[in-house]
Structure 1
Amino acid sequence: APYWQQRYGFSPVCSVNYWSGDNPCAAVGMGLLNSGDILVSLGTSDTCLCVLPSMPLSPPPSAFIFPHPVKPRSYIAMLVYTNGDVTRRAVKGDRSWDEFSDSLRLSSPGNYLTLFTSTQEILPALEQGDPITVKIDNKDDSKVTFNRIEGLPRDGPDYSSCRAVVEERALSMRYYINSEVAPGILEQFPEGKLLVTGGGSRNEQIRQVFSDVFGRSVVALHSPDAAALGAAYKAMLATAKHRGTLKEGEQLLQDHISATENTSRNFPDTSNSAIYGRISQSYAAFERVLRGERGR
């Protein structure tokens, strides 16, 4: 438009491209390009983003859905949780992070589920309150059951509050992504990435729980300027398309993202993944307990 040329000196032949928000651009900057790719951000609040091959016919109320900034006809679903790092630190208490990690490593998976809410939770919508714990029965059977118990079990080989606060978050993310947002997407795209970032991602034992729950290898990322980087990628692809070199631009993007992925990688323990897979199929029953006691 002449106004922009006269006011700001834009070239009359410059290309104009539509833009995206910070969350979608951050997803691109951290490498979420293909269907089934998942990013978990463990910060003050926790988020989980997943690339979808199409728009859900009935978008679930549990997730925000964005058009993918650089993949036409693809979308990104985002889950948001309030109780993130502050809650994990509250559970850690006076223990060091090494002691937190030891508690995770030395306890067995899938014996209990505990939800900790140091503040109101968004997903599901719950009031702040004391921890809610259920004992998991038949974890080695297809018919997992949950039995409500009062208080918290004593930390030991069968129960770890440190494990519980991480397990519950990972299982919740898996449940919502794979059952409500895009049913079966983990099985449909088994080669999809599982990327983790944020302060919690620096802990190897936390990464291991997410790897076991999702049944995927985990790559830890350090991308402090991911939103700006994703916006730059988007501008690069727009320029490449304008010049007729889109294929080369897409390959450059893939190569650059592959080169930025950290070598901090965890691989799933298949026996733990099998346990978590069975629990996740019954996770909705645990949510009914939570909503019944604390729903808002």
Structure 2
Amino acid sequence: MGSQDESIYLGFDSSTQSLKVTAMDSKFRILAFEQVHFDSDLPQYETKDGVHRNRGWEGRITSPVLMWVEALELALERLQQKDFPFDKVVAISGSGQQHGSVYWKTGSGEVLNNLDASKPLVSQLKDVFATHDSPIWMDSSTSKQCREIEEAAGGAQALCDLTGSRAHERFTGPQIRKLYQEQEHVYNNTERISLVSSFMASLFVGKYASIDYADGAGMNLMDMKRKEWSDGLLEATAPSLKGKLGPLAPSHGIAGKIHLYFISRYRFNPECVEVNWSGDNPCSLAGLAIEKPGDLGISLGTSDTVFGVSADPKPGVDGHVFPNPVDPNSYMCMLCYKNGSLTRQEVRDRCAGKSWDIFNQYLDDTPPLNEGKIGFYFKETEILPPLPAGIHRFDLSGADGAPLGHGRVDTFGAATEVRAIVEGQFMAMRSHARNFGMPDPERVIATGGASANHHLLRVCADVFGCDVYIASRPDSSSLGAALRAAHGFRLQTDETFSFSSLIKEASEDGATQLSLATKAPDTELHKSYDKLADQKLQYEHLLLQLAVVQAIPID
């Protein structure tokens, strides 16, 4: 197997729009990076932004399972063409977009175990799925099933207390229940249900890999404190579900040794082990080395997420609590927004001629606080707050003492619109994080594709009132997966080896180093943003009230 100095760790990230892989050596130096864009690299699947929208019923958003399989092989082939030393890889792990589910047809386990290295994976797996469409986190078609699961648990807060989250349309439990109710023949022909993370892990070990604790918490099915499936919730979701889900497993556990298929086809090390995959957000937590409550992670991607750690979380209906994938004694707290980069991009296309340079110039040319003009921009049905697609603009200039509803407007100028969406998104994060009990941050650590835009991060610093840092690499999920692979590998010989110790080593050699993107604003500007954020939150409550009576005007 070679000396430890020659060891390589691979981290994968199967996200909404692409598959990435990061290779890291034992000194935590990045050796290689590959990325497969689903739309452009695999056009035969006819996705837009990696998904299919509204095929079958309104609000249904899915991705083709075989696309993920083919993307994996394409990434490995690209590494192979560059003479990547697969024989030195001692451990792999990965992250998958949370909440996506895969349905293996009866008898598929045998096919998976007997993969033929002379044939591509796609040709061997094309007939093993009960359905080729994986419902993903963007799906919003399971409102009925969410209500049913919450009622079975005794209400939204009771479900939060048990599982860490209330029922959400994108969560896997409601998705499974909808499949059982509306496509019972598919459910009955399903031998195993995987998440995207455990599905991709299964390919590497040639058998059904377990769902890990951190990703399993995003299903509305797991007792978070006991880290076991809740029998009551399984029964409320679909019959005989426990057998289809298989056992849960620790995030740092070993799924198995790599399958002969990859040894023969790519010359992987026969002793290479796979550490259980987890969700993309838990892996981002690992990749950003967030270990204390003073650090707040913000991922600016297809969805925007805000996350941190807590030893004593208090689950609530606005956010989520997951087991920490790298520390069994703490939890990950997270808020999720469906309208992230794609919604910013929609405003860019409409207001700035599809140019980020013009978008950024508009952002720089408009004054902080936008002269009291605020907006809510939802290209997709939003998660937090739970509002339908639409744009809602308000002009609060001169509105001191005015009742809610003052200054409703239909349009802003292009520059005002740009600042309104950016400020609005960060102010929502700030308000909701406070409401969820997250402490005011000492620093924000930004990641995701849009974290490379320092114009956005300037607004982030102004709103949160603290310095904003960025990781040395924006792909924190695949980096976090590589770090988790290294941690799980070390735990095989040293059960007391902590992820904190690993991060200390990694930071000394650069893999997890942070760089200051922008410093905190002056105190008065931050106080003004706090006041505006409170006002915006009041208008959010108004919109929610109107939504209940179906009276929101959609622009």
Q: TM-score, normalised by structure 2?
A: 0.44
Cα RMSD between the aligned structures?
A: 3.0
Q: Quote how far apart the aligned CAs of 1:109 are.
A: 2.0
1:62 and 1:19 map into 2 onto residues whose CA distance is 25
1:199 and 1:144 map into 2 onto residues whose CA distance is 39
Q: Quote how far apart the aligned CAs of 1:228 are.
A: 1.2
2:356 and 2:530 map into 1 onto residues whose CA distance is 28
The one of 297, 310, 318 aligned to 1:52: 310
Aligned to 1:172: 428
1:213 and 1:145 map into 2 onto residues whose CA distance is 22
The one of 207, 210, 217 aligned to 2:460: 210
Q: Quote how far apart the aligned CAs of 1:236 are.
A: 5.7
Aligned to 1:136: 396
In structure 2, the CA distance between the partners of 1:53 and 1:178, relative to structure 1 (3 Å rule), is: farther
The one of 315, 320, 323 aligned to 1:67: 323
Aligned to 1:102: 361
Q: Quote how far apart the aligned CAs of 1:230 are.
A: 4.2
In structure 2, the CA distance between the partners of 1:250 and 1:263, relative to structure 1 (3 Å rule), is: closer
Q: Residue 47 of structure 1 contacts residue 81 of structure 1 at CA under 8 Å; is this kept in 2?
A: yes
Unaligned runs of 5+ in 1: 1-7, 9-16
1:118 and 1:103 map into 2 onto residues whose CA distance is 21
Residue correspondence of structure 1 range 1-296 to structure 2 within 5 A: 18-19=250-251, 21-22=278-279, 23-56=281-314, 59-93=315-349, 94-110=353-369, 111-129=372-390, 131-137=391-397, 147-155=406-414, 160-179=416-435, 181-182=436-437, 185-186=439-440, 190-191=441-442, 193-221=443-471, 222-224=473-475, 225-232=478-485, 234-235=487-488, 238-239=491-492, 242=495, 246=498, 250-257=500-507, 259=510, 260-270=512-522, 271-294=524-547
Q: Quote how far apart the aligned CAs of 1:167 are.
A: 0.8
Give the strand-richer structure, 1 or 2.
Answer: 2
Deviations 1:220-260 (A, max 9, x none): 23242134134225426735752x565xx634423424732
1:144 and 1:29 map into 2 onto residues whose CA distance is 45
Q: Residue 363 of structure 2 contacts residue 455 of structure 2 at CA under 8 Å; is this kept in 1?
A: yes
Letter in 2 for 1:250: S
Identity in percent: 26
Paired residue secondary structure (2:406): strand
1:144 and 1:276 map into 2 onto residues whose CA distance is 20
2:310 and 2:299 map into 1 onto residues whose CA distance is 18
Q: Residue 396 of structure 2 contacts residue 407 of structure 2 at CA under 8 Å; is this kept in 1?
A: no
2:507 and 2:536 map into 1 onto residues whose CA distance is 34
Deviations 1:37-94 (A, max 9, x none): 21111111211112224121xx111111012233343221111111111111111121
Q: Residue 113 of structure 1 contacts residue 133 of structure 1 at CA under 8 Å; is this kept in 2?
A: yes
In structure 2, the CA distance between the partners of 1:107 and 1:84, relative to structure 1 (3 Å rule), is: same
In structure 2, the CA distance between the partners of 1:207 and 1:168, relative to structure 1 (3 Å rule), is: same
Q: Quote how far apart the aligned CAs of 1:163 are.
A: 1.1
Number of equivalent positions:
265
2:288 and 2:481 map into 1 onto residues whose CA distance is 11
Q: Residue 213 of structure 1 contacts residue 277 of structure 1 at CA under 8 Å; is this kept in 2?
A: yes
Letter in 2 for 1:82: K
Q: Residue 251 of structure 2 contacts residue 326 of structure 2 at CA under 8 Å; is this kept in 1?
A: no
Q: Bigger CA drift: 142-151 or 259-268?
A: 142-151
Q: Residue 38 of structure 1 contacts residue 50 of structure 1 at CA under 8 Å; is this kept in 2?
A: yes
Deviations 1:120-144 (A, max 9, x none): 1111111112x211223579x9999
Structure with the bigger RCO (C-alpha within 8 Å, sep 6+) is 1
Paired residue secondary structure (1:263): strand
2:503 and 2:493 map into 1 onto residues whose CA distance is 11
In structure 2, the CA distance between the partners of 1:237 and 1:209, relative to structure 1 (3 Å rule), is: farther
Q: Residue 45 of structure 1 contacts residue 84 of structure 1 at CA under 8 Å; is this kept in 2?
A: yes
Q: Bigger CA drift: 231-240 or 218-227?
A: 231-240
Q: Bigger CA drift: 167-176 or 262-271?
A: 262-271
Letter in 1 for 2:463: V
Q: Residue 467 of structure 2 contacts residue 516 of structure 2 at CA under 8 Å; is this kept in 1?
A: no
Paired residue secondary structure (1:105): helix
In structure 2, the CA distance between the partners of 1:170 and 1:240, relative to structure 1 (3 Å rule), is: farther
1:282 and 1:53 map into 2 onto residues whose CA distance is 31
Q: Residue 336 of structure 2 contacts residue 384 of structure 2 at CA under 8 Å; is this kept in 1?
A: yes
Q: TM-score, normalised by structure 1?
A: 0.78
1:232 and 1:81 map into 2 onto residues whose CA distance is 28
Q: Residue 136 of structure 1 contacts residue 145 of structure 1 at CA under 8 Å; is this kept in 2?
A: no
Letter in 1 for 2:361: D
Higher Cα Rg: structure 1 or 2? 2
1:281 and 1:86 map into 2 onto residues whose CA distance is 26
Q: Quote how far apart the aligned CAs of 1:204 are.
A: 1.1
Q: Residue 38 of structure 1 contacts residue 195 of structure 1 at CA under 8 Å; is this kept in 2?
A: yes
Q: Bigger CA drift: 114-123 or 250-259?
A: 250-259
Q: Quote how far apart the aligned CAs of 1:36 are.
A: 3.0
Letter in 2 for 1:134: F
